[in-house]
Chain A
Amino acid sequence: MSDSTKLELKLGIFVFIAIIILVVSIFSVGDFQSWHSGGYKIFIKFGFLNGVKLGAPVRFRGVDVGEVRDIDIVTDVESINSFVKVTCWIKKSVKVPKDSGVWVNTLGILGEKYIEIMPGEAKDVLEPESFIIGNDPIAMHEIAELTKKIITRIDTELIRLKTQEGTLGKLLYDDQLYRKIYTIIENLETLVLDLKAHPWKLFFIPKKKN
């Protein structure tokens, strides 16, 4: 073999292996697999989306079966009411019942959002390109507001306790009440001891004076 063909052979092998690696890796990386396998689109209607991103995974019974392809805000011209229309791509083999529940859920430590579909009982399957209504996630500010409300309520109750308002406040802080209860318990104790020592006293009926 002459030197010139040897050089070409070496370079040929070098480039050929690289191209094979490139082709194999392009066909096996994440987003290519979804391009060639079949699927269909469904639309999900949300009132609030809590920051789901394009390309977020869609899970059916906890298994990744698709992704979010498009997020639109659809506004009704007359009433100015708007909602969020999320277009999801789902694998062809997955059949979603019509009464399935759809939620926005959080994944992992980094807090990525994804869409969770839990199937319902219905026998009819969601057609491609049809709408399903999602359950709105609770916004962080709503949770914060609710917590604030609960805490202010507890706080006012605690203040009332401190200022000895109400029965519980008196019970906790009124010394006099405590002393009275203490004497009552002491008296009760002597009574019980007395009864134990002389049980016949229970049946003792003083004679009525005529």
Chain B
Amino acid sequence: MKSCLYFLNKLGNRFLALLYFIGGLADLTLHTIFFTFYPPFKKRAILEQAERIGYKSLPIVSLLALFIGVILALQTAVLMQRLGSEMYIASIVALSVVRELGPVITALIVAGRAGAAMTAEIGSMIITEQVDALRTLAVNPLQYLVVPRFLASMLMLPILTIYANVIGIVGGYLICVYKLYISSNMYISITLEALKFKDIFTGLVKSLFFGMIIALVSCFYAFKTEGGAEGVGRATRSSVVVSFVLILSADCLFTSIFYFIFP
């Protein structure tokens, strides 16, 4: 009986924590969107964040996208060679990279790299009371810290995704042309034929939302940082884990929307 009550108590607490999380995140989202359109605009800060999130993530995003393209081509080659239809490798690589893997891999890398840095940075500002100092100077910390990160992350993710798409397809191209001896022109024409405008568009729309999720979740956990250095570590860990979960669940939601409602 006692253990049963304990269990229910634990479950209820978890559920309440979930509700607090959803409420807090929604609150942060609405305020951030409101302050996005509210002057003064921090152009300089946005550019700096854009450089950190977008430009500096490009090498690692490119490297991983290349690997993804190569892996996809090799894995599908095993099956397609058995069926004697290696031509389909090009369209499989193109479609899965552009529709799914490009946006998701980019978002996961940025969440792990830039999102964790955001949480750690703002979190340590919180525990050293720099954010309180901002408030005493009548500077809104949301506007000063969150809005530039939100805008930069939202705009940079689609751009990183475009690079990831191209480089992923190049990875597939390298395997198909130099290992499976499919002609280069044929690979390119099959890729272009398989892709539709809608595939590129839905991938970029998804990555736009992934960018928002990364910035908002990272800032949300940063503002909840408590205690000392250990608290910063805990906040960073939670922000990365929750970003990953939310990115993939948002991806599932978008994919089903695009599948069932706008086929």
Q: Check if B47 sits within 8 Å of A8, measured CB to CB.
A: yes
8 Å CB interface, B30-65 against A: 44, 47-48, 50-51, 54-55, 58
Q: Check if B196 sits within 8 Å of A29, measured CB to CB.
A: yes
Q: Check if B192 sits within 8 Å of A30, measured CB to CB.
A: yes
8 Å CB interface, A55-109 against B: 108-109
Name the contact of B192 in the complex, choosing from A7, A8, A29, A109 (C-beta under 8 A). Answer: A29
What are the residues of chain A within 8 A of B196 when measuring CB–CB?
Answer: 29-31
Give the distance in Å from the alpha carbon of A28 to the alpha carbon of B83 in the complex. Answer: 29
B75 at the interface (CB under 8 A from A): no
Q: Check if A18 sits within 8 Å of B162, measured CB to CB.
A: yes
Q: Check if A14 sits within 8 Å of B197, measured CB to CB.
A: no
A25 at the interface (CB under 8 A from B): yes
What are the residues of chain B within 8 A of A22 when measuring CB–CB?
Answer: 162, 200, 204
Q: Check if A14 sits within 8 Å of B54, measured CB to CB.
A: yes
Q: Check if B51 sits within 8 Å of A7, measured CB to CB.
A: yes
A180 at the interface (CB under 8 A from B): no
What are the residues of chain A within 8 A of B204 when measuring CB–CB?
Answer: 22
Q: Could you count the A-B residue pairs with CB atoms below 8 Å apart for me: how many are there?
A: 51
B67 at the interface (CB under 8 A from A): no
What are the residues of chain B within 8 A of A32 when measuring CB–CB?
Answer: 197
A192 at the interface (CB under 8 A from B): no
Nearest residue, chain B, Cβ from A17 = B163
Binary interface encoding of chain B residues 151-170 relative to chain A, with 1 for a CB under 8 A from any of its CBs, else 0: 00000000100110110000
Given A14-B58, A29-B192, A30-B192, are A7 and B47 also a contact pair (CB < 8 Å)? Answer: yes
What are the residues of chain A within 8 A of B142 when measuring CB–CB?
Answer: none
Q: Check if B194 sits within 8 Å of A30, measured CB to CB.
A: yes
Give the distance in Å from the alpha carbon of A42 to the alpha carbon of B101 in the complex. Answer: 39
What are the residues of chain B within 8 A of A26 when measuring CB–CB?
Answer: 197, 200
B109 at the interface (CB under 8 A from A): no
| Interface set of A (CB-CB < 8 Å, partner B) | 4, 7-8, 10-11, 14-15, 18, 21-22, 25-26, 28-32, 108-109
